[in-house]
């Protein structure tokens, strides 16, 4: 990923937070038929390994696990907030007319080694953690849990998925949030986004720019 110095995000805690807030990652593998990408919700566990690990599960019918081997190098892309930025939002544009449209966004790229975890204990644990985290995020008065369903049904569903674990080798992030603009231009972008706040994604960009 191309990362100009002023857009680099070196803070591990910020990168981890982005993964946790936007856990649906694009898992990219180089399989027998070339590059392939699958969109998978991940758990980040920073207590495992030197740089942490990602845990998830995929459908047993998904060839991504059967066509991969332990130790294969993979890339996981976490796309956070993004928003189109118009040149009209820059005060300097109206003076010099030398600006062009751009896009503000945050992304995290994780490079790691894949491990297939086709064991019931691991899979059950990953599903339980994912459920607990995301039921809490949506604020259900009575969060759903696996024991809400019949045991034989859950057991059958767990047999239909396979666990994966990715040892993190490197993690890089890019926060392109108008840091390369004049301060008056950047501040006016913040003000415009605050007024427009048209989508959840632009709202998230606004939050990132003001944090």
How many Cβ atoms sit within 10 Å of the Cβ of residue 98? 9
Q: What is residue 89's predicted lDDT score, i.e. its pLDDT?
A: 93
Rounded distance, CA 73 to CA 169, Å? Answer: 9
pLDDT per residue over 2-25, tens digit each?
999 999 999 999 999 999 999 999
Helix (H, G, I), strand (E, B) or coil at 181: coil
Any idea which architecture 5-210 has in CATH?
A: Roll (2.30)
pLDDT per residue over 143-169, tens digit each?
999 999 999 999 999 999 999 999 999
Q: What is residue 98's predicted lDDT score, i.e. its pLDDT?
A: 79
Say if residues 119 and 183 touch (Cβ distance below 8 Å): no
At 202, the pLDDT band (50, 70, 90 cuts) reads low
Rounded distance, CA 12 to CA 62, Å? Answer: 32
Phi, psi at residue 178, to the nearest 5°? Answer: 70, 25
pLDDT per residue over 50-71, tens digit each?
999 999 999 999 999 999 999 9
At 205, the pLDDT band (50, 70, 90 cuts) reads confident
Q: What is residue 95's predicted lDDT score, i.e. its pLDDT?
A: 82
Percent over 90 (pLDDT), the chain = 82
Contacts of residue 147, Cβ cutoff 8 Å, sequence gap at least 6: none
The whole-chain average pLDDT of the chain stands at 93
Rounded distance, CA 24 to CA 77, Å? Answer: 9
* Domain residue spans of the chain: 5-210
Rounded distance, CA 43 to CA 130, Å? Answer: 7
Measured CA angle at 205 (ends 190, 126), to 5 deg = 160
At 75, the pLDDT band (50, 70, 90 cuts) reads very high
Q: How many residues does this entry show for the chain?
A: 211
The model's pTM = 0.90
Helix (H, G, I), strand (E, B) or coil at 110: strand
Rg of the chain in Å (alpha carbons): 20
Say if residues 108 and 78 touch (Cβ distance below 8 Å): yes
Range of weakest confidence among 38-42, 77-81, 197-201: 197-201
pLDDT per residue over 99-134, tens digit each?
899 999 999 999 999 999 999 999 999 999 999 999
At 200, the pLDDT band (50, 70, 90 cuts) reads low
Distances in Å between the Cα of 63 and the Cα atoms of 1, 8, 23, 68, 162 are 27, 34, 22, 8, 11
């Amino acid at each position: 990923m191309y990362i100009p110095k002023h857009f680099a995000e070196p803070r591990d805690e910020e990168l981890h937070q982005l993964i946790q807030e936007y856990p649906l990652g694009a898992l990219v593998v180089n399989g027998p038929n070339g590059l392939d990408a699958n969109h998978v919700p991940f758990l980040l566990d920073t207590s495992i390994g030197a740089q942490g690990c990602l845990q998830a599960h995929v459908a047993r019918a998904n060839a991504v696990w059967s066509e991969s081997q332990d130790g294969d190098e993979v890339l996981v892309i976490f796309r956070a907030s993004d928003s189109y930025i118009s040149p009209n939002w820059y005060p300097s544009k109206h003076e010099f007319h030398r600006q062009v449209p751009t896009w503000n966004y945050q992304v995290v790229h994780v490079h790691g080694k894949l491990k297939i975890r086709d064991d019931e204990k691991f899979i059950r644990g990953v599903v339980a953690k994912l459920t607990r985290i995301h039921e809490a995020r949506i604020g259900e008065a009575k969060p759903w849990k696996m024991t809400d369903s019949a045991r034989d049904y859950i057991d059958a569903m767990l047999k239909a998925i396979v666990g994966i674990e990715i040892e993190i080798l490197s993690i890089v992030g890019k926060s392109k949030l108008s840091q390369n603009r004049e301060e008056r231009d950047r501040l006016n972008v913040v003000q415009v986004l605050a007024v427009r706040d048209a989508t959840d994604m632009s709202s998230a960009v606004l939050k990132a720019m003001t944090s």
